[in-house]
Structure 1
Amino acid sequence: MARGGINKALVQKARQAILARGENLSIDAVRVELGNTGSKTTIHRYLKELEDAERGRDVSAMPLSEQLANLVAQLADQLKEEAQAGVAQEREQLERERLDYQNQVRQATNRIQQLEGQCTGLAEQLQTAQQALQQEQQLRQQAEIENARLLQANHDQEARLQDRDGQIRSLEEKHQHARDALEHYRQAAKEQREQEQRRHESQVQQLQLELRQLQQTLIIKQDELTQLNRDNARLLAEARQLQKEQHAQQQLLAQKTQALENAKNALAGVERANDALEQRCSTLRKEVSQLGEASAIQAQQAQSLQERLVEATAQLNLLGAPLANSDGARST
């Protein structure tokens, strides 16, 4: 069946119009006359039926030699038309394949550009992540240095506190010794006074003199004791201050330790993001490589189609040569 409303009557009308203008009758000319509609195979079949009908009417009046010449010419025309129809179909097929290939190439090119853009963006993200990682490493090194300094300062503070504790213990021992000596002295003086009271009154003056001497010694001892108490209070105040400083240093050390832990966690997150970005970039590179291979395969297919077109053109030329010879012989 004809497509698009094409029938034998329309083909006959178009054929008569072409012959009336003295133009070369062909499938393409009839299709153009029909408004570029209809299948070339259907047009070729209708033309063949019309030509066979005309030959049937004229065959009884022609000599045998002319009938044979006409038959040869008809066969040549039929071969030419079939070849033209086949070549036209091949050309249409090649054109469709060429358009499909061009579309595929454009899509592949756009995909490659998109992947290159994504790869560039990922490379920039990777560089940013590496810079952030480097900064985190520097911060971690600084935190470690600060932590070491604080540990050393804490160690020094502990040494000073131990030294102060030793001094306090030494002063407390001296103070206790002074108290013991004073108590011993008081006890001895009491015993001595009791003994002297029982002694002869002649020794009263001597005892009073010794008592004054002892009182002077006691005043000196009391002054020493007062000074020791003051030193003890001052050392206790310094010890409390050092304890406060140590507590502040410990809090600062805890804060620095927490900051170092946070920096380590952030560094671990950046390293995981870095690994994910590197894996994504590797995947995109593989996709780009696969698209390049597909493009190469499509280029080979296009080259094969071009070779097929050249072969079809050569076959058409070979078919056209006998036809030209037949036309020359007939005109002779």
Structure 2
Amino acid sequence: MARGGINKAVVQKARTALLARGEHPSIDAVRIELGNTGSKTTIHRYLKELEEADHGRGTAPATLSDQLANLVAQMAAELQDEARAAVALEREQLAQERRGYNDRIHQLEIRNQQLEASCIGLTEQLQVAQQGLQQEQQLRQLAEVEAARLQQAERDQATRLQDREGQIRSLEEKHQHARDALEHYRQASKDQREQEQRRHEAQVQQLQVELRHLQQTLLVKQDELTLLNRDNARLLTEARQQQKDVQALERRLEQGQRSLADGQRAWAHAEQANSALRERCDTLQGEVTGLREARASQGQQVQNLQERLVEALMQLKLLGHPPADVGNTNRT
């Protein structure tokens, strides 16, 4: 059976064209002449039949009726081949359509089963949804009851909140009164510390005046001692001894000044303690007590210094000579 339009007449035409060009009508040449179409087996069969026909015509000339019979037979064979090919093609198409219909029917049956299962599932879901709706209605009723209870609880809570706000305002007023009282106490403590500081500064200034007066007295006595040394060489030894006493007195005065400086530093420390007292109201009384003790110690130091000065003056008087100035004695 020939393929796709390849028949004996077509092969004969291609063979004749090749022979007319003086080429050998081989299978490949004929197939190329046909445009690379057709089966080589079919072309070989047709070429063999054509060669046999040519050999037959060469031995005995065929009559016109034989040629027509051969042509009719050849055309009948070609028509049968074409009919068989068309029938086979139609059968193949029909088989493909039948397979397509069967596949579609199978898919539709599967789809139908899926739809039936989906319908059953939707029915079950509808039943579950109805049950859920009933439960939701019950829950809604319970929620309404709970909302009413919560509203009542909210009103009760608002009442308690108002009471609590009143208590808070009362506590804030008490706290403000306590703060005012504490501020008043701080101010009073500050005024008291300032008064004590002013008194201490006045005492220190008085002591400094006394020290300056004593220094002036010492200068005067030193001048008198210089005159006495010029008048009486005998008193030189006593003057030197008295000079040593004066130096000792000056050392005592320096010690007194250092004690005074210590007192001032102690006072500065007490002022820092007073600043800390402003931040520590709960321990204010103890800090004030410590400050008073420090002030008493300073007063005692000042009193000791005054006693030492008096003692030094008494020693000078007991010596029977006024105190000499250290600087003038050295010049002498």
Judge same fold: TM > 0.5, yes or no: no
TM range (shorter): 0.3 to 0.5
Higher relative contact order, structure no. (Cα contacts within 8 Å, ≥ 6 residues apart): 1
